[in-house]
Structure formats: structure tokens, C-alpha cells
Amino acid sequence: MEQSQSDHKAITKQTKVYRKAGPFHIEFHGLQACLRNDKTRANIKSMLVSHAFDDLWRMIEEDKSFDKALFDLLDEPERDFMKYCLNKCKITSRGFESAYNQLLDGLVKRLKMLEGAKNIGDDNPSIKTEMKSILDKLYEKGVFSTSYYSQFKRLMKL
């Protein structure tokens, strides 16, 4: 009898279904997208979004697909908000990550090009301001750590 009770407990533990999504979800109230916490039922972050954001979110979440044309219709704050929400909700989309990283790749290439120009002796003051703006934008998007950010600024004398 003891044996069967312990077997029963082991079976019920194994068959317990865990929710795969994170403790957050997105609710749409018209075009107002709200990232909500399931436990406290409070808004974490909200934003007025476009129809393209709404369509792309539903496509990624429900259909597990991605549309590059819809992604291209989003402006930069909407892309950043969607990336933040996808991370919080623990939803993965390789198509979204790839498209988002392509945009960041362009900024990284431009920063490297400006760094090369500065290293060969170009002392144009507009290079420093453009480097600083690109560096700040990449730091805000979490591309590199705080230590790398401060080290790069110090080395480039920005």
C-alpha cells in the first residue's frame, strides 16, 4: 500500500502541466498595448501602437510565424517595445530576432567605420558626435555592457 501511494505521488508530479509562457502577457485595448503581470494584474508598461504591431504580435504569439513586411512598418520605439514584451512573455521568434539584429548590425558597422576613420587621423568633430549618438543608442538597446560602454567612450575620448 505504501508503495502504491508513493507511485501515485510521483505520477501526479510528472503529469502536472506547467505554463510555458512567462508571468507576463500582452492585452490590447484598441491600439493600446499593455504588458501586464499575471500575479498582480498590474500594467508593467503600455504603449499606443499601430495596427501592424497588433497584427505582428498576434502572428508571432498565436501562429508562431513572422512577417518581415509587417516588421518593416513598425517604427523604432514599437520594435523596441515588441522586443521587450517578447522577452518578458518568454516568447521566441527567430524571424523577429533576426530582423531586429539586422538593424543593430547596421549601427555597429557604422560605429566601426567611424572608429576606423578616427584611428587613421580624421579629426572631423562631427565624427565624435555621430559616434557618441550611435554608442548611446546601442547601449540603450543592451548591445553591450556598461563597462564596455565606459571603456569605449574613454578610449575614443567622447
pLDDT, tens only, 65-100:
999 999 999 999 999 999 999 999 999 999 999 999
Burial string for 31-65 (b: 16+ CB within 10 Å, else e) reads eebbbbeeeeeeeeeebebeebbbebbebbbeeee
Please state the domain extents for the chain. 24-92, 104-156
pLDDT, tens only, 118-157:
889 888 889 889 999 999 999 998 888 889 888 888 887 7
Report the predicted TM-score, pTM, of the whole model to 2 decimal places: 0.72
76-89 and 94-119 helices, crossing angle to 10°: 120
What is each CA distance from 112 to 101, 104, 108, 152, in whole angstroms? 16, 12, 6, 12
- In order, the DSSP letters of 35-53 are EEETTT--EEEEEE--HHH
Note the pLDDT of residue 30: 87
Amino acid at 37: N
